[in-house]
Amino acid sequence: MAVVAGKILRVNLTSKVISQEIAEKYERRFIGARGINSWIVFNEVKPETNPLDPEKVLAIGAGPLAGTAFRQTGRLALSSKNVFTGGINFSNVGGLIGSELRHAGWSNIVISGKSARPVYLYVKDDHAELRDASNVWG
């Protein structure tokens, strides 16, 4: 059975607003991160949006078994608008990041906008904040 974290972290880099929403409406309909990410990108990015514009979103999600006792299931999926085709682009990574995201209480992170200065997203359990990254930039 999949772990249902129940929360999506939304980060707007332009306004620096961080919010959350209940993920249940997505998790009941789609299996895992790729399905949820695809639905978010498909519905929130207009077809005419340039893939490099701030209006596009980057959807990040933990796989359905991430954070469980099952081995090799901690995948993290990333989805956005493809620069070359204009469709939805998918990628995924392994390691502990998917499980750690789930253990922190998040099933997905959706990033939008464009920051005027270098920042990074700091997440610890149910707390998230944007922090200045100018000291590591370049």
Q: How far is CA 73 from the centre of its chain?
A: 17
For 56-100, the pLDDT digits (tens) are: 999 999 887 787 777 777 788 999 998 888 888 999 888 888 888
Q: Which two tokens stand for residue 104?
A: 């922190």
Q: Which helix (H) or strand (E) holds 33?
A: helix 32-44
For 10-60, the pLDDT digits (tens) are: 999 999 999 999 888 888 888 778 899 999 999 999 988 988 899 999 999
Integer angstrom CA distances of residue 130 from 10, 66, 84: 12, 25, 30
The answer to whether the CB of 107 falls within 8 A of the CB of 9 is no
